[in-house]
Amino acid sequence: MASSGQVSWKLEDHPKLPKGKTIAVVVLDGWGENKPDDYNCIHVAETLTMDSLKQGAPEKWRLIRAHGTAVGLPTEEDMGNSEVGHNALGAGRIFAQGAKLVDLALASGKIYEGEGFKYISESFEKGTLHLIGLLSDGGVHSRLDQLQLLLKGASEHGAKRIRVHFLTDGRDVSDGSSVGFVETIENDLANLREKGVDARIASGGGRMYVTMDRYENDWDVVKRGWDAQVLGEAPHKFTNAVEAVKKLRENANDQYLPPFVIVDEHNKAVGPIVDGDAVVTFNFRADRMVMLAKALEYQDFDKFDRVRFPKIRYAGMLQYDGELKLPSHYLVSPPEIDRTSGEYLVYNGIRTFACSETVKFGHVTFFWNGNRSGYFNPELEKYVEIPSDIGISFNLQPKMKALEIGERARDAILSLKFDQVRVNIANGDMVGHTGDIQATIVACKAADEAVKMILDAIEQVGGIYVVTADHGNAEDMVKRDKCGQPLYDKNGQLQILTSHTCHPVPIAIGGPGLAPGVRLRNDVPDGGLANVAATIMNLHGFVAPNDYEPTLIQVVDN
């Protein structure tokens, strides 16, 4: 069992709700609620099961918030994401999240007083500071303004030679926006050069093809970045980063730009990472930085041939994996998420099964458990990862592993070995990100079929289901004007939306095991993902801790 300090883990029994019911917790990734039209793939798709939940008893279906301050992000304009969403779902409370923590540290200047910055600054006298991350204002993995502030602050705190290695976005922001972002950074670097700082862009590439893989799905992605960033080697060489992006966009979108390096007049890379340098990965979100962090930090590493392993001082913007202590140095301390619902329930004897495919497996385990790897108690928990398809874009296999996840959840429910069966079904989000509307419609139907499989099993064992989502995506696939009408570019082409949204998400409860009189409350109008943990605890027959966000259910005497 995990070390628990002085926490009192015993939960009070719920005065009206029984224990012993099998509960299925289904998280549909990227499944928001939006007005119906041709670009709402959830509406267009044949989603008979989810439709039946929405059209059923009104007291058992409602909408909850999954973006902005409801999940710990700075403003209501910040769209939700899977990481903060699952943190909120599992923790039962709202914690200040990556972007907000970094904003506070930059605004106060404390980022430059911490151990992490002091550590990397030891390289400033003789070495180069390399900044690696996503160049975007999307606010999902990183933010352009934070990079700008970090460039300014690092130069004011002793960095004399700076190299930026950027990844273009086109996923959380508009495709094609990368050119403007690069121009902005080039202008900032030019201003630093006027002040005597040797500051330049050194390399680049698209986020889905270079560096930003996750969950060890495809190490070749990380290797392409390593070759460009560390070795200074890439299939494309340019003397100007803006021209590089413009040229490479002729054959690829922002997400999939091939790697390139910037070279000098002698055709020599201007910024390979070498012994004595400092490196900062400036993404605040963890999932797509962990693999690079391992390559930069681990002496023993066998995922690809690094060719050389420079002796550097490396820090993440935050620590990306608290259990692995990775990286060991970081500029901003991550949220300390303690006493998650999963840990409470295990301490109270709840046997838990969690399952998803690779691309979202970490969400129903690591993020759900407060950014913690592994089991709380291996005797009471079982986590199953189904390998995701690799080497192809998800719109080419839009059904992904939805049915396999449904089957594993069904079998776990019918086995009667578990009190909670928790899954993430990834289709709406991962296929939605490709911008392929027809494929996303197929994806939504597949996700719905998986939900049916799980709910049918709950029916057989007399259990309870909770179906919700972590954020929006598939419910709106086009950019819109202020009146909500689809936008078209100058060539008359529909402008596709590939990012998450700020729409609310559904939550539905039901099943034969649901006690009579249980209904969703209407006096928690601003309820969000963090309210779901107390709700699930209640359905397991327990009262949630006092400092948890209020439950979404009440028991009305008949």
Q: Tell whether 38 is in a known binding site.
A: no
The one-letter code for the residue type at 238 is F
Q: Which residues contact 265 (CB under 8 A, 6 or more apart)?
A: 239
Q: Is 207 annotated as a binding residue?
A: yes
* Distance in angstroms (rounded) separating the CA atoms of residues 266 and 287: 37
How far, in Å, CA of 331 to CA of 316, rounded? 6
311 is in an annotated binding site: no
Is 363 one of the annotated binding-site residues? no
Q: Is 433 annotated as a binding residue?
A: yes
The response to whether 213 counts as a known ligand-binding position is no
Is 86 assigned to a binding site?
Answer: no
**What CA–CA distance (Å, rounded) separates 313 from 304?**
21
What does the alpha-carbon distance between residue 550 and residue 241 come to, in Å, rounded to a whole number? 50
Token pair in block for residue 396: 């080419």
User: Catalytic residue numbers?
Assistant: 82
Starting at the edge strand found earlier in the chain, the sheet holding 278-281 runs 236-238, 260-262, 198-206, 161-168, 129-135, 278-281, 313-318, 330-332
Which position has the token pair 């594993």?
Answer: 408
Strand 236-238 relative to strand 553-555, pairing: unpaired
Q: Is 429 annotated as a binding residue?
A: yes
Q: Which residues fall within 8 angstroms of residue 483, CB to CB, at 6 or more apart?
A: none
Residue 286 is labelled as binding a ligand? yes
The reply to whether 214 sits in an annotated binding site is yes
Q: Is 14 annotated as a binding residue?
A: no
**230: number of Cβ within 10 Å:** 25
SS3 55: coil
- The one-letter amino acid at 236: H
Annotated binding residue 540: no
Phi-psi region of 269 (alpha: psi -120 to 50; beta: other; left: phi over 0): beta
How far is Cα 201 from Cα 398, in angstroms, rounded to an integer?
37
Query: Is 165 within any annotated ligand binding site?
Result: no
Q: E strand or H helix at 61, and its extent?
A: strand 61-64
SS3 313: strand
Task: Give the residue numbers of the binding site for substrate.
Answer: 141, 171-172, 207, 214, 285-288, 360
Task: Give the residue numbers of the binding site for Mn(2+).
Answer: 29, 82, 429, 433, 470-471, 500
Task: Give the residue numbers of the binding site.
Answer: 29, 82, 141, 171-172, 207, 214, 285-288, 360, 429, 433, 470-471, 500
